[in-house]
Each structure stands twice: as C-alpha cells, then as structure tokens.
C-alpha cells in the first residue's frame, strides 16, 4: 500500500474507533518542521542526528504526516501507541530513567542558573545550560541505545516504521507540553531549579564592642 492509501485507511479506522467509544488521542502533524517550540525542536534535531548515524526513521515521519498515529500516551519510562498500517499495530517504547550520576551532574550544572520552571519549560535559560541538558550522549534526550522498542507488526527492522512514527509523535506532544519530556525521563524539573547552597550565616554583631569603638550607643 502507498502512504496515501495507508492515510485513508487510518482515517477510516480512527472514525470507527471513535464511533465505538474508544478513548484515543490521535497525533496528526503535517508541517515540515514538526515542532515549533524549544523542547520539541530539540527532540526533532536529536532524531535527525540519530538518523544521520544510520537509524531508519523516515518512514515514521511519513506515517505521522498521513495521520496514522491513532493514539499515543507518555508515562515515566514508557511511550505506548496505536499506529495504523496495513493492520492496526500496538507499539511500546521503553526507556530507562536518567541514572543518578547523570542527573546529579545536571543538577549541579543548573544549580542557581534557572530563574523559574516556566523559563526552563520554554527553553529560555542560559545557552550553556541548554547545551548540557540537550547533550547527545548524557542529556535529557534519549539515545537510540536507550530505547527498547516493540511492535505487533511482522517487521523485524528496529525501529519499524510504526515505532518510528510513535517516536516522532512523542516529539509533537513534547512540543505542545514540555513537561512530558521530564515525565518520560522520570525527572522532576523543579530539582534542576534548586538554588546554590547558601553561605553560612554570619556571626552576630558584638554590640558592646562596636559601641565602645565608635563611642555611640547601638540599639538592636
């Protein structure tokens, strides 16, 4: 089947599922960039790097743009999807949470350098902080080796086109709601906002000594 035929079949399946009262959350994105905001764009750029490294993702983009992702959910360490191909397939994408060493390194790098949760989610923080958070090998964005993909389709390729479509669809949801990226990686974004350790409190003034030095009475 051509991609256009798959798209028409997906539209029929989507309507049938809705008529049957199924709780589905389709992801449709026919734009060229697929993302408009910081974290969604960072996700798409990361996928482009993975594709340049040999990962076959282009068929997934085509399925997404033709409305074949009929449902997608993001939970800690897990993306689940229903993707329409010649049949309706179930996709599971598992990813390990950030290890504690990496997470602690990111906390230290961000410590006292992010003004608010809103600025973090909008990507409006220092460029050096964003560079660390989006570092290809040890940032927030998962590497291909971090994924554990499964699909009910008969294709042995990893990722298959349906899993690739789910990965791109996840980026679209993250573009609309960046908190989902932190949910996926099991990271509390507020932990990156912690201020630097405050200095120890200064000792109390020696009022009597100061009074004698300056020849005045000090009322505290």
Per-residue pLDDT of the chain (220 residues), as tens digits, is 899 999 999 999 999 999 999 999 999 888 888 999 999 999 999 999 988 888 889 999 999 999 999 999 999 999 999 999 999 999 999 998 888 898 899 988 888 888 899 999 999 988 999 999 998 888 999 988 888 999 999 988 888 999 999 999 999 999 999 999 999 999 999 888 865 444 455 555 555 655 565 566 656 5
Residue-number span of the structural domain to which 174 is assigned: 3-194
Alpha-carbon distances of 155 from 77, 94, 148, 152, rounded to whole Å: 24, 18, 15, 9
Give the per-residue pLDDT at 199.
45
* pLDDT single digits (tens) 115-133: 899 999 999 988 999 999 9
What is the distance of C-alpha 31 from the center of its chain? Answer: 20
Residue 140 counted as domain residue: yes
Residue 165 counted as domain residue: yes
Give the per-residue pLDDT at 203.
53
Q: How many domains does the chain have?
A: 1
Residue 212 counted as domain residue: no
* pLDDT single digits (tens) 66-77: 999 999 999 999
Residue 200 counted as domain residue: no
Residue 214 counted as domain residue: no
Residue 207 counted as domain residue: no
């Amino acid at each position: 089947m051509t991609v256009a035929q798959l798209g028409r079949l997906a539209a029929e399946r989507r309507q049938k599922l809705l008529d049957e009262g199924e709780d589905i959350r389709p992801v449709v994105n026919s734009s060229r960039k697929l993302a408009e905001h910081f974290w969604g764009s960072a996700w798409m750029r990361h996928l482009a790097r993975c594709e340049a490294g040999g990962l076959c993702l282009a068929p997934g983009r085509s399925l997404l743009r033709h409305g074949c992702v009929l449902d997608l959910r993001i939970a800690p360490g897990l993306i689940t999807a229903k993707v329409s191909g010649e049949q309706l397939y179930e996709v599971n994408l598992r990813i390990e949470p950030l290890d504690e060493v990496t997470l602690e390194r990111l906390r230290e790098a961000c410590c006292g350098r992010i003004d608010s949760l809103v600025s973090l989610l909008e990507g409006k923080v220092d460029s050096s902080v964003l560079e660390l958070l989006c570092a290809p090998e040890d940032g927030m964005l998962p590497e291909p080796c971090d994924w554990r993909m499964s699909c009910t389709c008969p294709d042995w390729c990893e990722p298959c086109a349906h899993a690739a479509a789910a990965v791109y669809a996840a980026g679209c949801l993250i573009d609309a709601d960046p908190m989902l990226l932190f949910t996926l990686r099991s990271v509390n974004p507020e932990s990156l906002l912690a201020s630097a350790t405050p200095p120890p409190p200064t000792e109390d003034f020696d009022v009597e000594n100061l009074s004698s030095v300056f020849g005045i009475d000090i009322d505290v």
